[in-house]
Amino acid sequence: MGATEIQVLNSLLQRWLVKEFDEKWIFVSLSMESIISYFETIPSSHRSLLLVGGITLFWILEGFVPLFKFDYKKWRHALPNLFFTLTTVIINFLLAFLLLKTSDWTVVNDFGILNWLPSMPLWAYIVLGVLLLDFIGAYLAHYIEHKVKPLWMIHLVHHTDHNVDTTTANRHHPLESMIRYAFTLFGVFIIGVPIGIVMLYQSLSLVATQLGHANIRLPKKIDEVLSYVIVSPDMHKVHHHYVLPYTDSNYGNIFSIWDRLFGTFMKLDREAIVYGVDTFPDVLENGSIKGLLKQPFQKYRKPTQ
Ligand SMILES: [Zn+2]
């Protein structure tokens, strides 16, 4: 083969490679676009299905590969937790319009971190949006709830569950649901997130928290590998240990990066974990809807160091 033929062959090959590359990227951005356009108008029924489907899936898995063999009546235990899940859903549903209004405002006015950054491919935009929302709407909110006394008393309701399982995920006092909502709203505003990404984030966040609380035993190695990217079940259980300093660790919701970055990541062997808060040991109160609704208004008590 002569030199010119090789040149021709080379340029043909290059052109083919470039075309192949372009097509892949067009495909990636098309599928990203369709994901976002689905979440832009995700029906309430699909969101409810995700909530109920997630709990059902993890509930079934808890039967097959339990982390702890709790001596409890699963439905009796689930009752207050499902009540607080329902109040969380109602609060978020009633206030959803504010999230939409704020998000639309940032898009129209080119406001917020995402809009101030140089332009980037859609996938990077989505990843960054979800990451930053996870930081402000979940990690930061959760961190502050542990450090400010009256907020801790509200968040306490989430921690006084003596049998952490997937139903614990949204065991939030209505006041906590409002606090978390306010942080998410502030996050959407300051980050400048389109509503499609907000809804994608909320859906991922829901499933992540159900997984983190699920009473399931993954192989230790797999759990550890997962914990480099997301909040794995073992990682979040450390946060539910009954004394400090473990209570004040592993605040993350979807991604573990924030705990690793800010030095709040801790490890504790799964066998050593005891659930609850040692200064609030009343099992009856901790399992009653009425008792839990009133719990934030008791005198401040810090877990023992
Ligand atoms: Zn907490």
| Centroid of ligand 1 to alpha carbon of 245 (angstroms) | 12
| Centroid of ligand 1 to alpha carbon of 249 (angstroms) | 8
| Centroid of ligand 1 to alpha carbon of 274 (angstroms) | 15
- Which own/partner pairs from 157-160 qualify as long-range (CB within 8 Å, at least 24 positions apart)? 157/84, 157/292, 157/295, 157/296, 159/240, 159/247, 159/276, 159/277, 160/276, 160/277, 160/280, 160/285, 160/286, 160/292, 160/295
Q: For residue 227, give Cα distances in angstroms to 230, 247, 250.
A: 5, 18, 11
| Centroid of ligand 1 to alpha carbon of 279 (angstroms) | 15
| Centroid of ligand 1 to alpha carbon of 159 (angstroms) | 6
| Centroid of ligand 1 to alpha carbon of 44 (angstroms) | 28
Sign of the alpha-carbon dihedral angle for 102, 143, 89, 178? negative
| Centroid of ligand 1 to alpha carbon of 64 (angstroms) | 27
Q: Nearest-CA neighbor of 205 among 60, 70, 92, 293?
A: 92
Q: Phi first, then psi: what are they for 163, rounded to 5°? A: -135, 85
Largest CA distance in the chain: 89
| Centroid of ligand 1 to alpha carbon of 158 (angstroms) | 7
| Centroid of ligand 1 to alpha carbon of 145 (angstroms) | 7
User: d(Cα 124, Cα 127) in Å, to the nearest integer?
Assistant: 5
Q: For residue 124, give Cα distances in angstroms to 76, 83, 131, 245, 258.
A: 44, 38, 10, 36, 18
CB-CB contact of 238 with 164 (8 Å): no
Beta bridge partners of 241: 275
Q: For residue 160, give Cα distances in angstroms to 5, 139, 243.
A: 76, 20, 12
How confident is the prediction along the chain (305 residues), in pLDDT tens digits per residue? Answer: 566 777 777 776 676 666 666 666 666 667 888 889 899 889 989 999 999 999 999 999 999 999 999 989 999 999 999 999 999 999 999 999 999 999 999 999 999 999 999 998 889 999 999 999 999 999 999 999 999 999 999 999 999 999 999 999 999 999 999 999 999 999 999 999 999 999 999 999 999 999 999 999 999 999 999 999 999 999 999 999 999 899 999 999 999 999 999 999 999 999 999 999 999 999 999 999 999 999 999 999 888 88
| Centroid of ligand 1 to alpha carbon of 9 (angstroms) | 62
CB-CB contact of 193 with 33 (8 Å): no
| Centroid of ligand 1 to alpha carbon of 201 (angstroms) | 20
- pLDDT for 129: 97
| Centroid of ligand 1 to alpha carbon of 152 (angstroms) | 8
| Centroid of ligand 1 to alpha carbon of 243 (angstroms) | 12
| Centroid of ligand 1 to alpha carbon of 248 (angstroms) | 7
| Centroid of ligand 1 to alpha carbon of 28 (angstroms) | 37
| Centroid of ligand 1 to alpha carbon of 251 (angstroms) | 6
User: How many Cβ atoms sit within 10 Å of the Cβ of residue 211?
Assistant: 23
| Centroid of ligand 1 to alpha carbon of 142 (angstroms) | 6
| Centroid of ligand 1 to alpha carbon of 146 (angstroms) | 7
Sign of the alpha-carbon dihedral angle for 62, 66, 67, 70? positive
Instruction: Report whether the peptide linkage leading into residue 245 is cis, meaning its omega lies within 30 degrees of zero.
Output: yes
User: d(Cα 252, Cα 134) in Å, to the nearest integer?
Assistant: 8
| Residue entry with tokens 């009425």 | 290
| Residue entry with tokens 């590359």 | 21
| Centroid of ligand 1 to alpha carbon of 79 (angstroms) | 20
CB-CB contact of 123 with 200 (8 Å): no
User: How many Cβ atoms sit within 10 Å of the Cβ of residue 162?
Assistant: 17
CB-CB contact of 241 with 275 (8 Å): yes
| Centroid of ligand 1 to alpha carbon of 162 (angstroms) | 14
- pLDDT for 10: 74
Question: What are the residues whose beta carbons fall under 8 Å from the beta carbon of 282, sequence distance 6 or more?
Answer: 291
| Centroid of ligand 1 to alpha carbon of 286 (angstroms) | 16
